[in-house]
Amino acid sequence: MDERTISPPNDQLRLEAERLTQSGRGSLPPEHELAGAELRGTDPAQLIAQLLEQRHELQVHQIELELQNESLAQANLDL
């Protein structure tokens, strides 16, 4: 996984999204687990590892967006 700098306001959202991902929230349907496995010349184990890593990143990002949306909705109600 590459190193990314997370801006301070998003640190807490990222950590919360990671926690929620570990608990199973935001998982993708099973048909997406092996998407692209038909690629020729690629080691299947390596491809699966890459796909799982990408899926995890997308799940975390999805949850970050959901948390931001909830936060914005609450801020809107507070106005």
- pLDDT, tens digit, for every residue of 4-43? 544 556 788 788 888 877 776 655 555 554 555 556 677 8
Give a yes or no: residue 53 inside a domain.
Answer: yes
Contact indicator for 28, 58 with CB cutoff of 8 Å = yes
Give a yes or no: residue 4 inside a domain.
Answer: no
Give a yes or no: residue 17 inside a domain.
Answer: yes
Give a yes or no: residue 45 inside a domain.
Answer: yes
b/e for 17-46, b at 16 or more Cβ within 10 A?
beebbeeeebeeeeeeeeeeeeeeeeeeee
Structural domain total, the chain: 1
- Of the candidates 52, 60, 66, the residue with the CA atom closest to the CA atom of residue 14: 60
Q: For residue 63, what are the domain limits?
A: 9-78
Give a yes or no: residue 3 inside a domain.
Answer: no
Give a yes or no: residue 2 inside a domain.
Answer: no
Give a yes or no: residue 56 inside a domain.
Answer: yes
- Tell me if the pTM is above 0.75: no
